[in-house]
Amino acid sequence: MTVQDFETAARTRLDPVHADFIAGGAGDEITVRANEEAFRRLRLLPRVLRGSAVRTQEVTVAGSRARTPVLLSPTAFHKLCDEEGELATARAAAAAGAIMIVSMASTVAVEDIAEAARGAGADGAPAPLWFQLYLQPDLEFTEALVRRATDAGCTALVVTVDSPVRGAHERDLRNGFLDLPDGLRCAHMVDPHEGGRVRSIAMSPEISWAHLDWLRGITSLPILLKGVLHPEDARLAVRHGADGLLLSNHGGRQLDTVPATVELLPEIRAAVAGRVPVVLDGGVRRGTDVVKALALGASAVGIGRPVMWALAEGGEKGVRRLLELLREEVDQALALCGACGVQDLTPDLVRAPAWGPPPLPLPGADTARPGGVVS
Ligand SMILES: Cc1cc2nc3c(=O)[nH]c(=O)nc-3n(C[C@H](O)[C@H](O)[C@H](O)COP(=O)(O)O)c2cc1C
Ligand SMILES: CC(C)CC(=O)C(=O)O
């Protein structure tokens, strides 16, 4: 009945080491918890008598049209959850008309995922697929991967920029989960020039804005940056030609103790000043969470762990049910807010506690804390 139920059910089926890999985060997992808690602290303030009988959830983000504002954030290794892996996920996403962001660390190749999605798209419409990339210091390899994703029909690239090194996943270290089980591999990291050797994904601290400029020069696909948290970086992203941001703290899996993403949303929105869309992920578990994020200015929201749990619980059917459930919950929340669609969701529908940047005590200035970030 709820998104949370999928986790409970999945845990009875999954190897506990793999369940820990999915659930876990970096360090003390403070940010993992903060993401969900922040949504719980926000309150909705609905409008009434607005005639919201005909409702739509359609959105267009960075040129891709979707039937739902809920997209599938990139998650690695779907074959840990289901033997069909990303093929099952792609079919379910296509049936729901949801954007799926294929992880660079997927256990099925993007060409095969695209084929599965094409076969399952409702109304014969192609389901939008985006491709997530960790920029590799080996630019030739990165360029070849961008071409593969483009040729497979992906309509945007999502560059994850919060991973100059990998976050410290202490559950995995304790469990000794350091590699994929035999028989599974990252499909995009098999190097045809090196006799099928599987490369590791480099999370490299040498990656800089210059690499993004290089990427901008080799592709005409929209580029979204995933993992920008500081408003100054959001401004820089726009200046460097990014077409959108995926406001994400990697589900609390990179730097622990960073703020919940929904807390940062108003600041990031203000920084980009409407020039590019902002998608948000992290802790979205309810239709009301989706509505809160959209009201605060997100163009869409992503879900990570729930997809893995649903896949483990029921394969393609599980992910279909998950997406249906969220569609039903979003529809109900829209109706109860007096909204016919995303366009009717505005910041005045949300009451936020007083979070945001700490007050900057200026010499001689009144140091009283400003009110909530949502006015
Ligand atoms: C098991 C797992 C694998 C992930 N793999 C990737 C990945 O390959 N690339 C990436 O950019 N983010 C990855 N993420 C982060 C997600 O894209 C997303 O930011 C996060 O899961 C959203 O938070 P949520 O799980 O609370 O919905 C992963 C997250 C999880 C839980
Ligand atoms: C294997 C990693 C590249 C996947 C990831 O980003 C994560 O586990 O958070």
Distance CA 133, CA 28 (A): 27
Distance CA 93, CA 319 (A): 8
What type of residue sits at position 343? Q
Out of 79, 253, 307, mutate this one to test ligand 2's pocket (max ligand atoms within 8 Å of CB): namely 253
Ligand number, closest to the Cα atom of 75: 1
Output the CA 50–ligand 1 centroid distance in Å.
37
135-151: pLDDT as tens digits: 999 999 999 999 999 99
pLDDT for 322 beyond 80: yes
269: left (phi over 0), alpha (psi -120 to 50) or beta: alpha
Dihedral angle, C-alpha 255, 257, 258, 260, nearest 10 °: 120
pLDDT for 176 beyond 60: yes
Q: Is 146 exposed, middle or buried (0-12, 13-18, 19+ CB in 10 A)?
A: buried
Residue whose entry in the numeric block shows the structure tokens 């419409």: 125
Which pLDDT does position 127 carry in this prediction? 82
**Which letter does DSSP use for residue 214 in this model?**
H
Distance CA 144, CA 152 (A): 12
pLDDT for 363 beyond 70: no
Output the CA 75–ligand 2 centroid distance in Å.
7
pLDDT for 372 beyond 60: no
SS3 298: coil
pLDDT for 123 beyond 90: no
Out of 22, 135, 250, 305, mutate this one to test ligand 2's pocket (max ligand atoms within 8 Å of CB): namely 250
338-345 mean pLDDT: 97
pTM: predicted TM-score of the whole model, two decimal places:
0.94
253 CB under 6 A from ligand 2? Answer: yes
Question: Which stretches within 71-134 are classed as H helix?
Answer: 86-96, 110-120
317-342 mean pLDDT: 98
Output the CA 14–ligand 2 centroid distance in Å.
18
32 CB under 6 A from ligand 2? Answer: no
Q: Given the CA of residue 251, which atom of ligand 2 is nearest to it? A: 9
Q: Are 49 and 337 in contact (CB under 8 A)?
A: no
**Which letter does DSSP use for residue 228 in this model?**
-
Which pLDDT does position 124 carry in this prediction? 64
Q: Given the CA of residue 226, which atom of ligand 1 is nearest to it? A: 11
Q: Phi and psi for 365 in degrees, rounded to 5?
A: -85, 160
Ligand number, closest to the Cα atom of 39: 1
pLDDT more than 70, % of the chain: 94
Which pLDDT does position 367 carry in this prediction? 43
Q: Which residues are catalytic?
A: 250
Dihedral angle, C-alpha 250, 76, 288, 225, nearest 10 °: 50
Out of 4, 14, 31, 73, mutate this one to test ligand 1's pocket (max ligand atoms within 8 Å of CB): namely 73
pLDDT more than 90, % of the chain: 89
Using pLDDT thresholds of 50, 70 and 90, give the confidence band for residue 125: confident
255-302: pLDDT as tens digits: 999 999 999 999 999 999 999 999 999 999 999 999 999 999 999 999
Choose between 196 and 117: higher pLDDT.
117
**Mean pLDDT estimate for the chain:** 94
pLDDT for 358 beyond 90: no
Which pLDDT does position 355 carry in this prediction? 65
Using pLDDT thresholds of 50, 70 and 90, give the confidence band for residue 166: very high
Q: Is 6 exposed, middle or buried (0-12, 13-18, 19+ CB in 10 A)?
A: buried
Using pLDDT thresholds of 50, 70 and 90, give the confidence band for residue 330: very high
Which distant-in-sequence residues (6+ apart) come within 8 Å of 358 by Cβ?
none
In angstroms, how far is CA 276 from the centroid of its own chain?
A: 16
Provide residues with CB under 6 Å of ligand 1.
Answer: 22, 35, 73-76, 103, 105, 132, 160, 226, 248, 250-251, 253, 281-284, 303-305, 308
Q: Are 55 and 340 in contact (CB under 8 A)?
A: yes
Output the CA 20–ligand 1 centroid distance in Å.
13
**Which letter does DSSP use for residue 313 in this model?**
H
Residue whose entry in the numeric block shows the structure tokens 């997992």: 29
Which pLDDT does position 354 carry in this prediction? 75
Give the chain's domains with CATH numbers.
3-344 (3.20.20.70)
Q: Given the CA of residue 281, which atom of ligand 1 is nearest to it? A: 22
